[in-house]
């Protein structure tokens, strides 16, 4: 799974103020599809930042017409505040398989400074 489903996204106003909207299909194949088949609309997973801090997140699929997955506010906004992220910053999720626990995601946050993307 490593390398599959990597996500790189510049943060929008919605991502920073409410919940992070994910591209359709990002987690569908491995996580959400299985959960939906089992009758769930959400999947819990962890992200690990460059300092080794673990943040639990919840990804859910909205009901109704707009079925894009979102990272729910509780865990996502906690991570956002911890990193001091704002609109225009970039987030990168890279899946890492942990045979003893769950699949977690390495997460990097970057800011565009003087023409370069710099880890923050």
2 pLDDT more than 50: no
Per-residue pLDDT tens digits for 73-82: 999 999 999 9
Residues in the chain, total:
120
Per-residue pLDDT tens digits for 33-54: 666 666 677 888 888 898 889 9
Q: How confident is the model over 90-105, as a mean pLDDT? A: 75
Distance CA 109, CA 63 (A): 29
Q: Domains along the chain?
A: 7-119 (2.40.330.10)
Stretch (H or E) spanning 22? none
DSSP symbol at 39? T
Taking only Cα atoms into account, the Rg of the chain, rounded to an integer number of angstroms, comes to 14
Residues 6+ apart with CB under 8 A from 93: 5, 6, 7, 8, 47, 105, 106, 107
């Amino acid at each position: 799974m490593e390398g599959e489903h990597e996500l790189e996204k510049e943060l929008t106003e919605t991502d920073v103020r409410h919940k992070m909207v994910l591209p359709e299909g990002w987690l569908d194949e491995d996580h959400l599809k299985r959960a939906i088949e089992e009758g769930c609309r959400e999947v819990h997973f962890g992200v690990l930042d460059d300092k080794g801090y673990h943040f639990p997140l919840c990804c859910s699929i909205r009901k109704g017409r707009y079925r894009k997955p979102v990272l729910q506010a509780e865990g996502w906004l906690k991570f956002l505040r911890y990193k001091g992220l704002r609109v225009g910053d970039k987030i990168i999720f890279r899946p890492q398989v942990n045979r003893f626990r769950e699949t977690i995601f390495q997460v990097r946050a970057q800011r565009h400074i003087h023409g370069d993307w710099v880890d923050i």
